[in-house]
Amino acid sequence: MSDKLNISITKTAQSRLADIDFNNLPFGKTFSDHMFIADYSDGTWKDFRIVPYGEIGFSPAISALHYGQAFFEGIKAYKHADGNVSIFRPDKNAERFNLSAQRLCMPELPVDIFLKSLETLVDLDRDWVPSKANHSLYIRPFMFATDPFLGVTPSATYKYIVLTGPVGPYFSKNLKVKVETFYSRASDGGFGFAKAAGNYGGSMLPAMKATQEGFDQLIWTDSKEHAYVEELGAANIMFMMDGKLITPSTRDTILKGVTRDTVLTLAKGWNIPIEERRISVAEIIKGIKEGRITDAFGVGTAATIAHIAEIGHEGELYTLPDPAKRIFSNRVLDTLNELRYGRSADEHGWNFAVRSESSKD
């Protein structure tokens, strides 16, 4: 990665760090002192800058607000026992960032700019990275269209911004989830594989309805028959059945999760049989009834591993084995924690070290 990217840095006059209660960090509500911004116009990315976190001005006619050209990524940085900081697999997020851009007819961002923006921003605010167990610095890169034009056509100008903020665990309990049989998250030929803002906007009503029924999350199913499992809320989903790790194969309705790829890579290294394929709801219900499913969990950047304790389907509630006694998902979680916090060897080269400015001289 090149160090030649010219990034202007304007530091905050007064850090808010001393005002933050690191023992109480609701996810996504606390933001670090600075943010990265870049602009796209005339076919190129320009004006790379880090400024104090705060409001930005724009026209109420910008096309992102009217036609939905907006998407994001989610990444985490971790503090090691020796004080060093690393970002987990940002190269994979850079790859997916550009897949989202392609699908939404938006400009790609060169990988070196993506990585450099993250590294420089996290380095500047490295004191915001929590050292507490199961805590991290959440990183939110996003892009949106900025043409002040009310016409259904791709914008010619865009902003790329990166925010960061310290976070604790996303879920504080095991999940009670419902199989969705009416609403759809994505459809064939759509953009379910992209981290488009519209995907999440469309999921809110069915998720709210599920919450009102006493569930924590939804298991999304295919839009044609609602017969096949696709995702768990905003995460990928996995099951251990008959000693095999099974997960829906990725397609244009399913996000290619970085955590998903990580878990599959670990499983392969442990010689655990893996099946990436279409999984029917009927197969899962039958597997639970017969005791053949020993583990079920969501995998994603925010939650890492989210244990599923109960699954509701068509008025029936099915209970899965005790999450505390599950072997595979707990092994994965322990392995990832040891790796991301720098307590074990990084055999796959997944930890992207954030170098301090002094070490780059």
151 pLDDT higher than 60: yes
281 pLDDT higher than 80: yes
Structure tokens at 159: 């902003």
Q: Residue 167: what pLDDT?
A: 95
- Domain extent at residue 321: 175-340
Is 359 within the bounds of a domain? no
- Count Cα atoms within 13 angstroms, Cβ side, for 50: 22
Is 353 within the bounds of a domain? no
Give 62-68's long-range contacts (Cβ < 8 A, gap of 24+).
Answer: 62/144, 62/145, 62/146, 62/147, 62/148, 62/155, 63/145, 63/146, 63/147, 63/148, 63/149, 63/150, 63/151, 63/155, 64/144, 64/145, 64/146, 64/155, 66/150, 67/145, 67/152, 68/196, 68/197, 68/198
Torsion of CA 126, 129, 130, 133, to 10 degrees: -120
Q: How far apart are CA 79 and CA 93, in angstroms?
A: 19
Give 198-235 pLDDT, tens digit per residue. 999 999 999 999 999 999 999 999 999 999 999 999 99
Please give the distance of CA 343 from its chain centroid, rounded to a whole number: 23
Give 107-144 pLDDT, tens digit per residue. 999 999 999 999 999 999 999 999 998 899 999 999 99
Q: Residue 358: what pLDDT?
A: 52
Q: Residue 26: what pLDDT?
A: 87
Q: Residue 58: what pLDDT?
A: 95
Q: Are residues 111 and 27 in the same domain?
A: yes
Is 350 within the bounds of a domain? no
Is 1 within the bounds of a domain? no
Q: SS3 string of 244-286?
A: EEEEECCCCCCCCCHHHHHHHHHHHHCCCCEEEECEEHHHHHH
Q: Are residues 260 and 207 in the same domain?
A: yes
Q: How far apart are CA 207 and CA 329, in angstroms?
A: 25
Which of 162-171, 175-184, 240-249, 343-352 has the least mean pLDDT?
Answer: 162-171
Q: Considering its fold, how many domains does the chain have in total?
A: 2
Q: Taking residues 272-301, what's their average pLDDT?
A: 97
Is 47 within the bounds of a domain? yes
Q: Taking residues 298-304, what's their average pLDDT?
A: 90
Q: Are residues 321 and 184 in the same domain?
A: yes
Last residue of a domain, one of 121, 140, 169: 169
Query: Residue 1: pLDDT band by 50, 70, 90 thresholds?
Result: very low
Indicate the length of the chain as a whole number: 361
Is 193 within the bounds of a domain? yes
Q: Residue 354: what pLDDT?
A: 97
Q: Are residues 265 and 197 in the same domain?
A: yes
105 pLDDT higher than 50: yes
Give 28-42 pLDDT, tens digit per residue. 899 999 999 999 999
Q: Taking residues 53-59, what's their average pLDDT?
A: 96
Q: Are residues 208 and 86 in the same domain?
A: no
Last residue of a domain, one of 147, 169, 191: 169
What CATH code is carried by the domain that includes residue 282? Answer: 3.20.10.10
Q: Are residues 187 and 258 in the same domain?
A: yes
Beta carbons within 8 Å of 153's beta carbon, 6+ residues apart: none
Query: Residue 2: pLDDT band by 50, 70, 90 thresholds?
Result: very low
Q: Are residues 186 and 122 in the same domain?
A: no
Q: Residue 172: what pLDDT?
A: 76
Q: Which of 153, 155, 122 is nearest to 43 (CA)?
A: 155
Is 356 within the bounds of a domain? no
What CATH code is carried by the domain that includes residue 55? Answer: 3.30.470.10
Q: Are residues 161 and 191 in the same domain?
A: no
Q: Are residues 194 and 229 in the same domain?
A: yes
Query: Residue 360: pLDDT band by 50, 70, 90 thresholds?
Result: low
Q: Are residues 179 and 158 in the same domain?
A: no
Q: How far apart are CA 271 and CA 254, in angstroms?
A: 25
Is 112 within the bounds of a domain? yes
Mean pLDDT for the chain overall: 95
Last residue of a domain, one of 169, 188, 218: 169
Q: How far apart are CA 184 and CA 253, in angstroms?
A: 10
- What share of the chain in percent tops pLDDT 70? 98
361 pLDDT higher than 60: no
Q: Residue 3: what pLDDT?
A: 57
Q: Strand, helix or coil at 128?
A: helix
Burial of 280 (0-12, 13-18, 19+ CB in 10 A): middle
Give 71-88 pLDDT, tens digit per residue. 999 999 999 999 999 999
Q: Taking residues 178-200, what's their average pLDDT?
A: 95
Q: Are residues 231 and 282 in the same domain?
A: yes
The answer to whether the predicted template modeling score (pTM) of the entire model surpasses 0.85 is: yes
Q: Are residues 14 and 163 in the same domain?
A: yes
- Cβ(303)–Cβ(170) below 8 Å: yes
Q: Residue 160: what pLDDT?
A: 98
* Better pLDDT: 3 or 353: 353
Beta carbons within 8 Å of 112's beta carbon, 6+ residues apart: 1, 2, 5
How distant, in Å, are the alpha carbons of 203, 234, 283, 288 from that of 218?
9, 9, 17, 17
